[in-house]
Amino acid sequence: MASSSTSSVPKSFKYDVFLSFRGEDTRTNFTDHLYSALQLKSIYTYKDDLRIKKGKRIDDELIGSIEDSRFYIIVFSKNYASSSWCLDELVKIMKCHKQTGHTAYPVFYDVVPSEVRNQRGVVGEAFAKHEKEEAAGKWREAMKEAADLAGWELKKTDDGHEAKFIKRIVEEVSLELRSVNFRIDEKLVGMETRINDIVSSLETTPDDVRMIGIWGMGGGGKTTLARAVFDQISFQFEGKSFVENVREVSSTPLSGIKSLQKQVLSDILNDQGINISSVSEGKNMMWRMMRGRKVLLVLDDVNRMDQLEAVVGERNWFKMGSTIIITTRDEQLLVAHGVKLICNVNLLSDKEATCLFSRYAFGREIPIQGYEELSAQVVRYAVGLPLTITVLGSFLW
């Protein structure tokens, strides 16, 4: 049913979100727009009018997909309760909601919570035809339970503007997914504190175009740190791009800088058909197309000023709240470009270095008995460089 979006879904769940809705009410309007917005955020979503295959029993498909979803968004509309199919789906959702790892969120589209809770008003009218059915009792209970959950009501949110309403829903679901999915690789020793320091620094100026530089010697963990920060905060942005190996990519005469511009625009606009004829045209396109979006951009391993001037030349190229992270071995390059927030990547302490080496070499936090001296020699040789320690640890294993 859902698109082939690529979010980071835990192994125990096939889908991030399951959408429950009454097709005749919202399939081609609200639910369709909500589904598209979830896709754009790479939230893997199950929508039953897309994935069910002909010739298969819809019951089995739905039940399995509900069980395989972490979150449920239930779009209550005027005719939701008229469908026994929707109500059976709701009963299953509420049953899963009570289990660890699943969470249901009601969306009150053109109804209010009290109508769903008590089956009154337009909801009561829709439910009336089920009064004598055997399942009526469990359907009523499921509706009451769902209406009591924290969710979103269109009439009371953003003055009823659907676009803003959908944006709010997607942002909150993204935040919830981030909190349950994000974890720091246990082999990234000493990284958690460094990540938190940078994230905290960024939060000091939430309403500005924020530029932060990460500098240090080669192999010191700049790229790893930038990637971890990128992964942790990317859900907050309308567009994102992580450009690796800027030094290498831009070394190609004529086309190098243009390829950087093309990658950034293609990533953020989600358009692989962008063509740039010159660096100058690329700068104009960056300014024209990016200033309306809150973006997260990482430029990794920058070594020349023209790279920065071509891709992040002026702050007014970006919408307020955008964040640009630049990694480099040259601190003066950051200073010359006017980057105020500059973080030096400290090398690992002996304790951190020993732990990192041991995890790669022995699969544990301390050296195996008999390998203590060898580990100490490696740590001294690596002088705190994470890349060197990782390579040597992997080789020994």
CA angle 80, 82, 87 (to 5 degrees): 65
Cβ within 8 Å of residue 187, ≥6 positions away? 356, 359, 360, 390
Q: Which amino acid is at 251?
A: S
Please give, one letter per residue, the 3-state secondary structure of the chain: CCCCCCCCCCCCCCEEEEEECCHHHHCCCHHHHHHHHHHHCCCCEEEHHHHCCCCCCHHHHHHHHHHCEEEEEEEECCCHHHCHHHHHHHHHHHHHHCCCCCEEEEEECCCCHHHHHHCCHHHHHHHHHHCCCCCHHHHHHHHHHHHCCCCEEHHHCHHHCHHHHHHHHHHHHHHHHHHHHCCCCCCCCCHHHHHHHHHHHHCCCCCCCEEEEEECCCCCCHHHHHHHHHHHHHHHCCEEEEECCHHHHCCCCCHHHHHHHHHHHHHHHCCCCCCCCCHHHHHHHHHHHHCCCCEEEEEEEECCHHHHHHHCCCHHHCCCCCEEEEEECCHHHHHHCCCCEEEECCCCCHHHHHHHHHHHHHCCCCCCCCCHHHHHHHHHHHCCCHHHHHHHHHHHC
Known catalytic residue at 281: no
Instruction: Give the Cα separation of 327 and 85 in Å (integer).
Output: 53
Instruction: Give the Cα separation of 76 and 93 in Å (integer).
Output: 14
Catalytic residue among 67, 89, 192, 248: 89
Catalytic residues: 89
